[in-house]
Amino acid sequence: MKTEEILKSLCQSGGISGDERKIQDIFVDLISPYCDEFQSDVMGNVWARKKNAQGKTIMLEAHADKIGLMISGITDEGFLLFAEIGGYDKKIMPSTLVTVFGKETVHGVIGSVPPHLKKKQKFTSDDLCIDIGMSKCEAEKIISVGDLAEFDTEYTPLLGERAAASAFDDRAGLAAIVKAVELLKDDSVNVVAAASTQEEVGCRGAKCAAYNINPDVYICIDVCHGKTPDADKNVFALGGGPVITVGPNVQPYVSKKLISTASDFKIDYQIDVDSGNTGTNAWTVQIARMGIPTGLVSLPLRYMHTRYEVLSLKDIDLTAQLLAEFARRC
């Protein structure tokens, strides 16, 4: 299956933190041609492996959840108040089209006080609301507190083997895992492909999945910031290949093996020097059980946590190749 087809199907399937069921079903469908054992847990994590696989257990994990909104109230005028699930840049929210999942699915626009009427420079979520074009009485019939909402976006191909959509963080990681397992379809390596939950609200699901799987080596696949004009040095080139992290959040021998694998197979790669918390599931999985040997591979991503993120499809393929060759060497 083509990388773009995999990524598109993963990006258009909901999956806000705490409600990942639909995206997990799609992940299982995509990976089922290459695996025959599937498990899940109370947290909603799912993982897949081959029967009778041999050797060390290599856990490849990416988080399935994405950021979103939760309805917290309805004003007297019929506007929907909301709380954030995960982190947004408030500046990009006004005038954004959203889909609200109530008893009926409705569309709305995030609104705020017009700039020329505002007295303060900055605004918070309390200054924002969702306009669905209904009165309070009408809205209460189909919308309830606790209903979820998300950005209304479509997967859009761009020039230069790039694409734009929401939730590339971290559906791109899931796509790389699917492609890696496809590359390993004729191998007997003991790879466990995991899609975890609730990363965006505290890196919660992966730790539980790792406890159950108890791998010999764990590789987290996530995203990092892609280079844009005037960006600082802590960003990475789209199309430059996977980003391998070095630092205390990863075991040195794992990162060295990832780097040597990329070098030996002439896979383009980049290095991220991270001296502390990487802000990924690697941070929590590393200290699961008695400690799990951990590595972190990231895909460069522009405009993270906005309505449209941008990445290179080439980076997904290169990441998949790196993961497959690494697994063969373990």
Instruction: Say whether both 247 and 296 belong to one domain.
Output: yes
Annotated catalytic residue, options 20, 61, 150, 199: 199
The pTM score is 0.93
Last residue of a domain, one of 99, 123, 151: 151
Residues 179 and 302 in one domain: yes
Same-domain status, 283 and 197: yes
**CB 205, CB 43: distance < 8 Å:** yes
Rg of the chain over Cα atoms, rounded to whole angstroms, equals 20
200 classed as catalytic: no
Same domain, 136 and 170: no
Instruction: Indicate if 107 and 26 belong to the same structural domain.
Output: no
Short-list 287, 215, 228, CA closest to 47? 215
> Which one, of 91, 47, 25, 97, lies nearest residue 206 by Cα?
47
- Whether 161 maps to a domain, the answer reads no
Same domain, 187 and 305: yes
- For 147, the domain range is 68-151
Q: How many CB atoms lie within 10 A of CB 43?
A: 18
In a domain, 156, yes or no: no
Residue found under tokens 């697994």: 327
- Tell me the C-alpha distance between 155 and 177, whole Å: 20
pLDDT by residue for the chain (330 residues), tens only, comes to 899 999 999 998 889 999 999 999 999 999 999 998 999 999 999 999 988 788 899 999 999 999 999 999 999 999 999 999 998 878 888 889 999 999 999 999 999 755 544 555 566 667 799 999 999 999 999 999 999 999 999 999 999 999 999 999 999 999 999 999 999 999 989 999 999 999 999 999 999 999 999 999 999 999 998 877 666 666 899 999 999 999 999 999 999 999 999 999 999 999 999 999 999 999 999 999 999 999 999 999 999 999 999 999 999 999 999 999 999 998
How many structural domains are present in the chain? 2
Q: Residue 288 in contact with residue 228, Cβ under 8 Å?
A: no
Conformation bin of residue 303: beta by default, left when phi > 0, alpha when psi is -120 to 50: left
Closest Cα to residue 22, out of 185, 171, 144? 171
Give the C-alpha distances (Å, rounded to integers) separating 53 from 62, 188, 260.
21, 5, 24
Please identify, among 119, 151, 183, the residue that sits at the C-terminal boundary of a domain.
Answer: 151
d(CA 256, CA 174): 23
